[in-house]
Chain A
Amino acid sequence: MSYISKPKVAHPNMPRNSLGLTARDYEGAVSTLCAGCGHDSVTAAIVQAVFELNVEPHMLAKMSGIGCSSKTPAYFVNHAHGFNSVHGRMPSVTTGASAANRTLTYIGVSGDGDSLSIGVGQFVHAIRRNLNMCYIIENNGVYGLTKGQFSASADIGSKPKKGLPNQQEPIDPVSTALSLGATYIARGFSGDKEQLVPLIQGALLHEGFSLVDVISPCVTFNDHEGSTKSYAHTRQFYHHVVDTDYIAPAEEIKAAYAEGAAMPIELHDGSKIVLRKVYSDYEPTSRASAFKYLRERLNAGEIVTGLLYIDDSRGEMHDLMGNIDTPLSEYPLDKLHPGKEELKKILSRYR
């Protein structure tokens, strides 16, 4: 992980957000990932997303597990709080963190090994709880730090640098999340920042579990011919199905959308995301039809991208439990017990 801080050179005329901060203020340490790594592009998209959303850095919690992807929280928003936990266990730490303080914005960065192998149990249960977080999977089909073993998202027939092609059925995070009831499911490509930034913004603002699966090629171990997670393969087979635009709270929807194709969804802070259907018969609010379509395209070898499913009707974890709005960690301790006299009454039952 990087310990080299980035020199802060801000041009006086750089755009500032409503907090008076520039995009530079949302950067982190210098990345130590390989040159050309898809993850660095995702990091850049996160920086732009939170800068534009005017997120107060110290109100952002960056959560991760172990792996190349999990290193990246060190590379964005220096002044946010970071929690680099143990392998595959970021969801549980985030669940506890959210339980204690529901007012922070939680962004988790994970990988296909971290989320789909060692941590698949925690990944699926965070979805079931509708934990209010933006969960990004930087998906490259391999283990990088241990030098190129297949992960659980490797496609059948995908060739490794050395050895035999993968023969096991891959775990697709998008269809997994869909089957488990995730309330915001998107897929992007690290090479398409224009599409990715609003997907992350919607995910950060959505109240509930938001998955952003990002195909993020590993230049060192999985970018060769025959790999289905290479830049070349992804560029050739990926399609936008539903694009999104982020509209800040005070702004009007200005863009001209074709009739029937645009679907604005109001978020809790008054902002909107507008879903633009590239395939007009795609239904991003129907689990059944989304599942059918995604499965068909997957079987055809296509990588469909965009905001693939959204359900803004279901409450997040705290709402499902009926918890107070203020952070539990801020509730005064002396109001959390009924005192000495009531203890006597409680204990009278045990006499």
Chain B
Amino acid sequence: MAKVNDVVIKIGTVNGTGSASANGLLMKSIFRMGIPVVGKNYFPSNIQGLPTWYEIRVTGDGYHARSNRVDVMVAMNAQTYAKDLADVTPGGWFVYDSTWPRSQLLNRDDITVLGVPLSRMCNEHFEGARARILMKNIAYVGVLAALLDIDLDTITALIEETFASKRALIGSNMEAIRLGYDYASENFVCPLPSKVVAMDGTKGHIIIDGNTAAGLGCMYAGATVGAWYPITPSTSLMDAFRSFCSKYRIDPDSGKRTYCIIQAEDELAAIGMVLGASWNGARSFTPTSGPGISLMSEFLGFGYYAELPAVVFNVQRTGPSTGMPTRTQQADILSCAYASHGDTKHVLLFPADPGECFTMAQEAFDLAERLQTPVMVLSDLDIGMNDWMVPEFDFDDSKVPDRGKVLSADDLESMEKFYRYLDVDGDGIPYRTLPGTHPKGSYFTRGSGHTKYGGYTEDSDEYQDVVDRLLLKWETARSIVPQAEIQYSKFNNAALMSVGSSHAACTEALDRLKEQNIAVNYCRIRAFPFGASVKEFIEQHEVVYVVEQNRDAQLRALLMLDCDADPTRLVSLLHYNGMPLNAGFVVGKVLEERSKGQAA
């Protein structure tokens, strides 16, 4: 098992004790040594006192998913010693605070238990309860630095950067690192066989979470109105937008804000505000999660039928109902695709990582304005709140955003008469006007039956005319949404298909299957409605393993509904326990399905 730059470290602590900065320091130090890393935070829906874990996968191969192994467990929470001990992979190491020795309890003979008297050392060296707790966290970073051979200079540089404005803290943090480092060096054989060695695998990359990336994307897309109701795990998206705006969105002449963030009374109001703002021509958005989508449904149908742009980020969490708010899932695919009563369907984008949260945030505004309809970006907790290593984002200064078919005052002046819902260009997308532009541009926006001219109707033909035209618009959407990512070889008759955050584990699974001489093709869905290439891809294979993180095979159902896919070809590999997907699960399920096929 012991391999260089291939180790999974898991740290068990109590939430509210400030371990996040220690874990960030640890992960970034390894990243700065040029070694790819994956960070996953498993935290409770709670403020203080419950168990929480942080997992760092050091992956010289540059994979992006979690692993189902734990090589080095740092157990800082006595409440979870038993569980943490059981989680260590045979041959691994278990580090714990031996100020209170637990030799009776910690009795696995297939792993190595390493006791470090962290509390005692910190109590001797630091004053005050808060400092002692915080420094205990930094001290375990020192222990790991010795055990894994993490470069101390890199750690020092990071601490100096972090506390550049609070230099008094640099000394105490370094002292804590030293305490742990020296104790481990003196008492254990360091480094362990599982260690890290500097490499060149992170150039041009950053470590960022998807919500920060999406908030940055919204700022770069020129969003000016953000309305939201706080809900885990989407809250940090608006926090990020606000933070970027507070720096970059102050009008230089007046010193006033060029953005408006409204904390709504609930999600119903949040989406209402977004629609009102987009009706008036502002790029507006709301971040939410599953329960918020349920509340927004009526308005989403309104947006679809009255044809108003809106951008909704759904950072999915584990349902149904309140479910597990701090665990991940992809279980809102169907409820978003068909949110609201009546014949309603919505454009969905599926980012696979924070990089795509940044780009798809921008694409979502372009698509929403081009198609004059709500567009939902389906991220999830794993992408939104975990730290991913991704290529540094780029932005093209010459790119002109697509504002869609909006008539100017000059356009209106030269027109005989304006009709809001007329399909002038044959693509199902009518022209719209913004209130206040020109007297000829006035129209009545309504969710009740309307004619193609924009008037109220209860006439069957006039009603049907408009909803049929919306179907034509849907086909236009199909041709302009991001197309699926496909890896195809005609020699393979089986394929994997994934969506969103399942991509990371699937790409790793493809490599592992190849090592076993199992070659399969691959398709990653990036948007709904599905492009023609998706339907074609399914038809090219005898079997397509559809990997998704929900119980009810929602993507599979949507493939059958939207592109009439043959259900006998679509075999579901479903992972829905709330933990991020890992490659081992995918490989195991593929092998299991193959053996079933061979038995039959």
Task: Using CB atoms and an 8 Å cutoff, list the residues of chain A in contact with chain B.
Answer: 1-3, 56-59, 61, 73-74, 78-86, 89, 91-101, 103-104, 121-122, 124-125, 129, 318, 321-325, 327-331, 333-340, 342-344, 346-347, 350-351
Q: A1-B456, A99-B260, A347-B393 are in contact. Are A89 and B251 (CB under 8 A)?
A: no
Identify the stretch in B53-61, B267-275, B465-473, B548-556 within 8 Å (CB) of chain A at 4 or more residues.
Answer: B267-275
Name the A residues within 8 Å of B221 (CB-CB). 337
Decide if B537 is an interface residue (CB 8 Å cutoff).
no
- Report Cα–Cα, A330/B224, bound state, in Å: 10
Question: In the bound complex, do residue B258 and residue A85 qualify as a contact, i.e. CB atoms below 8 Å apart?
Answer: no
Instruction: Judge whether B302 is part of the interface by a CB distance below 8 angstroms.
Output: yes
- Cβ of B436 < 8 Å from any Cβ of A? yes
Q: Are A101 and B436 in contact (CB under 8 A)?
A: yes
In the complex, are the beta carbons of B447 and A89 less than 8 A apart? no
Partner of A3, one of B274, B401, B438, B455: B455
Asked if B445 and A96 sit within 8 Å, CB to CB, the answer is: no
Tell me how far the C-beta of B241 lies from the nearest C-beta in chain A, rounded to whole angstroms: 12
Q: How far is the CA of A115 from the CA of B32 in the complex (A)?
A: 57
Residue among A86, A323, A350 making CB contact with B302, cutoff 8 Å: A86
Known contacts A83-B279, A84-B445, A338-B248: does B435 contact A121 (CB below 8 Å)?
no
Given known pairs A83-B445, A89-B269, the reply for A340 and B225 (CB within 8 Å) is no
Query: Is B276 part of the contact surface with A, judged by Cβ < 8 Å?
Result: yes
Contact pick for A74, options B31, B264, B265, B456, CB 8 Å:
B456
Q: Could you list 13 A-B pairs, sorted by A, with CB under 8 Å?
A: A58-B435, A74-B456, A82-B446, A83-B276, A92-B264, A92-B272, A95-B262, A97-B279, A122-B268, A125-B264, A125-B265, A329-B224, A347-B208
Distance between B341 CB and nearest chain A CB, rounded to angstroms = 11
* Interface hits, B267-299 → A, CB 8 Å: 268-284, 298-299
Contact yes or no, B275 A96, CB < 8 A: yes
The complex places the Cα of A80 from the Cα of B433 at a distance, in Å, of 12
Give the distance in Å from the alpha carbon of A333 to the alpha carbon of B443 in the complex: 25
Q: Are B262 and A343 in contact (CB under 8 A)?
A: no
Q: How far is the CB of B217 from chain A (nearest CB, A)?
A: 10
In the assembled complex, the Cα of A84 lies from the Cα of B445 at a distance in Å of 6
Residues of A contacting B269 with CB < 8 Å?
A: 89, 91-92, 95, 121-122, 125
B436 partner, pick from A59, A92, A322, A334, beta carbons under 8 A? A59
> In the complex, are the beta carbons of B281 and A95 less than 8 A apart?
no
Distance of B463 from chain A, by nearest CB (Å): 12
Closest to A333 in B: B222
Which chain B residues lie closer than 8 Å to A92 at the CB level? Answer: 227, 264, 268-273, 276
B276 to chain A: which residues have CB within 8 Å? 83, 92-100
A127 to B407 Cα, complex, angstroms: 34
Q: Are B257 and A81 touching (Cβ within 8 A)?
A: no
Least CB distance, A89 to chain B, in whole angstroms = 5
User: Given that A82-B446, A125-B269 are known contacts, is A96 also in contact with B436, CB under 8 Å in the complex?
Assistant: no
Are the C-beta atoms of A329 and B456 separated by less than 8 Å? no
Which B residues are in CB contact (< 8 Å) with A329?
A: 224, 277, 280-282, 434
Q: Flag if B272 contacts A337 (CB, 8 Å).
A: no
Which residue in A59, A103, A335, A340 is a CB contact (below 8 Å) of B395? A340
Interface membership of B569, Cβ < 8 A: no
The residue of chain A having its C-beta at the shortest distance from the C-beta of B435 within the complex is A81
Distance of A331 Cα from B277 Cα, bound (Å):
14
**CB-based contact B442/A81 at 8 Å:** yes
A93 to B446, CA, bound (A): 12
> Are A96 and B268 interface neighbours, CB within 8 A?
no
Q: Are A328 and B224 in contact, CB atoms less than 8 angstroms apart?
A: yes
- Contacting pair A86 B447 (CB below 8 A): yes
CB distance from B248 to the nearest CB of A (A): 5
CB contact under 8 A between A121 and B265, given known A95-B273, A96-B272, A96-B275: yes
Distance from A134 Cβ to chain B, minimum over Cβ atoms (Å): 16
CB-CB under 8 A from A344, the residues of chain B are: 392
Taking A99-B273, A336-B224 as contacts, is the C-beta distance between A84 and B401 under 8 angstroms?
no
Q: Does B216 contact A (CB under 8 A)?
A: yes
Q: Is B124 engaged at the interface, CB distance under 8 Å to the other chain? A: no
Is B207 in the interface zone, CB < 8 Å from A?
yes
**In whole Å, how far is B530's beta carbon from the nearest beta carbon of chain A?**
30
| A328 and B260 contact, CB distance less than 8 A | yes
- Given A84-B446, A121-B269, A324-B254: A103 and B436 within 8 A (CB)? yes
In the complex where A83-B279, A85-B447, A89-B268 touch, is A100 in contact with B302 (Cβ < 8 A)? no
Counting CB contacts under 8 A, is B528 at the interface?
Answer: no
- Whether A121 touches B266, Cβ cut-off 8 Å, given contacts A336-B219, A340-B397, is yes
B259 within 8 A of A: yes
* Contact A350 B282, beta carbon cutoff 8 Å: no
Which residue, B207, B256, B302, has most C-beta atoms of chain A within 10 A?
A: B256
B282's nearest neighbour on chain A, judged by CB, is A100
Q: Say which residue of B222, B248, B277 sits within 8 Å of A97 (CB atoms).
A: B277
Q: Does B320 count as interface, using CB distance less than 8 angstroms?
A: no
Interface digits, B381-406 against A, CB 8 Å rule (1 contact, 0 not)? 00000000000111111000101000
B541 on the A face (CB < 8 A)? no
B128 close to A (CB within 8 Å): no
- Asked whether B445 lies within 8 Å of A81 as measured between CB atoms, the reply is yes
Whether the pair B262, A337 counts as a contact (CB closer than 8 A) is no
| Min C-beta distance of A41 to chain B, whole Å | 22
Interface residues in B17-72 (C-beta closer than 8 Å to A): 31-32
Q: Say yes or no: is B437 at the interface (Cβ < 8 Å to chain A).
A: yes
What CA separation (Å) do A339 and B437 show in the bound complex?
29
Contact between B248 and A337, CB atoms less than 8 A apart: yes
Q: Given A95-B273, A103-B436, A337-B219, output 8 extra A-B contacts at Cβ < 8 Å.
A: A58-B442, A82-B442, A82-B444, A82-B445, A101-B436, A324-B254, A343-B220, A350-B208
B64 shortest CB reach to chain A, Å: 16
CB neighbours of A347 from chain B (8 A): 206, 208, 392-393
From A58, A79, A99, A124, give the contact of B262 (CB < 8 A).
Answer: A99
CA distance A101 to B403 in the complex (A): 17
Once the chains bind, are B272 and A101 in contact (CB under 8 Å)? no
Complex partner residue of A323 from B257, B392, B435, B457, CB under 8 angstroms: B257
Judge whether B580 is part of the interface by a CB distance below 8 angstroms: no
Q: Which A residues are in CB contact (< 8 Å) with B206?
A: 347, 350-351
- In the complex, the answer to whether A328 meets B220 with C-beta atoms within 8 Å is no
Partner of A99, one of B225, B435, B436, B457: B225
- From A2, A83, A324, A350, B258 is in contact (CB under 8 Å) with A324
In this assembly, does B99 line the interface, its C-beta being within 8 Å of a C-beta of chain A?
no
**Residues A101 and B280 in contact, CB atoms below 8 Å apart:** yes
Expressed in whole angstroms, the Cα–Cα distance for A147 and B274 within the complex equals 33
**CB <8 Å contact, A331 and B258:** yes
Q: In this complex, what residue of B is CB-closest to A344?
A: B392
Say whether B225 contacts A100, CB under 8 Å.
Answer: yes
Q: Are B227 and A96 in contact (CB under 8 A)?
A: yes
Tell whether B441 is near chain A: CB-to-CB under 8 Å.
yes
Closest 4 CB pairs of A and B: A96-B276, A92-B272, A96-B273, A100-B282
Closest approach, in angstroms, between the C-beta of A96 and any C-beta of chain B?
3
**A1-B456, A101-B281, A104-B435 known; A58+B441 contact, CB < 8 A:** yes
Query: What residue in chain B is nearest A95 (Cβ atoms)?
Result: B273
Residues of B close to A73: CB separation below 8 A? 444
Expressed in whole angstroms, the minimum distance between the Cβ of A163 and any Cβ of chain B is: 30
- Bound-state Cα–Cα, A103 to B297, Å: 30
Residues B224 and A331 in contact, CB atoms below 8 Å apart: yes
Between A61, A92, A94, the greatest number of chain B beta carbons within 10 A of the residue's beta carbon is seen for A92
Asked whether B256 lies within 8 Å of A84 as measured between CB atoms, the reply is no
Contacts of B31 in A (CB 8 A): 351
User: Which B residues, 173 to 232, have Cβ-Cβ distances below 8 Å to chain A?
Assistant: 205-208, 216, 219-225, 227
Q: How far is the CB of A4 from chain B (nearest CB, A)?
A: 10
Give the CA-CA distance A84 to B264 in the complex, in Å: 20
Q: Are B260 and A343 in contact (CB under 8 A)?
A: no
With A92-B273, A96-B225, A96-B272 known as contacts, the answer to whether A84 contacts B448 (CB < 8 A) is: yes
Interface flags for B92-115 (1: CB within 8 Å of A; 0: not) read 000000000000000000000000
Q: Which residues of A contact B280 (CB under 8 A)?
A: 96-97, 100-101, 104, 327, 329
Residues of the A chain whose Cβ atoms lie less than 8 Å from the Cβ of B258 = 323-324, 328, 331, 335-336
